[in-house]
Structure 1
């Protein structure tokens, strides 16, 4: 198990189990939440992985919202609510913050990034707000005027400035494998600028940061694991190394 230090912005979270109103209702009925006690974060990169439906996004949302981020994503300054359906889990977790104070931060949520881009355009169109335009910190071009992948990468490259806490929920959603490798490089650059990442992903490429801790969410709860032990890595490796046999099995031939 990873040993804690104060060289991080977020040291760990704890579920206030004694305050949970009911273990039979969402989100407390999720296996990962039911088993949650304390989750310790690496000072550089922490991964949260697992199959769809295991509660990754729910947990990421709760961590981000408890920190003060808008549940739909963005910096601490965003407060829009296109579809306020986030869970109440953030009300039941306690954050343990380190001695360092974050100067930057961002909650990147792939599923609601379109809503964030729309809100930026709306704020920039409001002539009553002071300059500069918000889009200037994202590369100077409206995120809606770029491809999905380009708009994602614009935030990583231009908006993430370092010395910050970055919570990323499935950032690979619109990124090619080459862009994912570029994203991994960008993460390393920002870690060198005293940044901390918490990342939920299905991508074995993005999971490959060497100085990290990884938690696997499943029906068994939350368990620490390694890249090579994840199904994502094992299945991808088997497929690439034995494509023809895998295809025959998939097609029932």
Structure 2
């Protein structure tokens, strides 16, 4: 593990009525301790999990449009306001890593195509645009992720089928189990959340708190649906039939 603690500099916050400090989970944030090599951020859309992940990437000096420190391009780059108001505590500090934004991965792939062709060896040997969305994500994970590094991933399941999410779990395990890699992942996937021994931080209920896998809404809804599909759908469509 490298990143140990995330602290909101409350004394510098200009106003809790302004975004992103108006987000309840961010407004009530004091300090987060990271205790595992794999940490998941979960919560409804708008709960603040991606906002905080982006701020961490900004403090790591990763390109907030996606990439690492050396990926310099400005297409749709996001300016993280929150990054100016958090402090990261490291032991030891690492500069290697990657920030994945599923929604802007196309722009990152275009950026890679514009560089020296020799760099493609770090991405599987061919353009990410010449691969399917899922293949390009796995090429990134398999070939670009290596060495002592921190990986910040925002909804990596967006391009991955359930089978490929399982493949990704194996990649996480192979990297994290060596002690040379740390992952912080914002996700809605009950498959990814099932990674053993990971910490899950919920951004719901107006605060950030640790939660067990079986207590996540992602697990509970998916489990109920799979075990009670007909009943679930009957309840869901009841108003339409009345």
Q: Distance in 1 between matches of 2:134 and 2:107?
A: 15
Q: Which contiguous aligned blocks of 4+ residues in structure 1 show a shift greater than 6 angstroms?
A: none
Match of 1:112 in 2: 104
Q: Distance in 2 between matches of 1:120 and 1:83?
A: 15
1:205 is paired with a residue whose SS is helix
2:141 is paired with a residue whose SS is helix
Match of 2:29 in 1: 36
Whether 1:91 aligns to 2:77 is no
Equivalent residue for 1:203, pick from 165, 189, 193: 189
2:89 is paired with a residue whose SS is strand
1:69 is paired with a residue whose SS is coil
CA deviations over 1:157-209 (Å, ceiling 9, x no partner): 11111321111110000100000011011100001232111011000110112
1:207-226 correspondence to structure 2 within 5 Å: 207-226=193-212
Q: Distance in 1 between matches of 2:143 and 2:36?
A: 23
Q: Please, what TM-score do these two structures have when normalized by structure 1? A: 0.90
Equivalent residue for 1:235, pick from 215, 221, 237: 221
2:203 is paired with a residue whose SS is strand
CA deviations over 1:93-149 (Å, ceiling 9, x no partner): 0010113x437311111011111001111123xxxxxxx622210001101111111
Whether 1:247 aligns to 2:240 is no
- 5+ residue gaps, structure 2: none
What is the RMSD of the two structures over their aligned residues, measured on CA atoms? 1.3
Contact 1:104 1:161 (C-alpha < 8 Å) held by counterparts: no
- 5+ residue gaps, structure 1: 1-7, 125-131
Contact 2:65 2:78 (C-alpha < 8 Å) held by counterparts: no
1:86-165 correspondence to structure 2 within 5 Å: 86-99=79-92, 101-102=93-94, 104-124=96-116, 133-165=118-150
Between stretches 24-33 and 79-88, larger displacement belongs to 79-88
Q: Please, what TM-score do these two structures have when normalized by structure 2? A: 0.94
CA deviations over 1:199-246 (Å, ceiling 9, x no partner): 110001101121221110024211110110000000000000000111
Aligned residues: 238
Contact 1:162 1:191 (C-alpha < 8 Å) held by counterparts: no
Provide closer, same or farther for how the CA distance between residues 138 and 209 of structure 1 changes in structure 2, counting only shifts above 3 A: same
Between stretches 165-174 and 189-198, larger displacement belongs to 189-198
1:221 is paired with a residue whose SS is coil
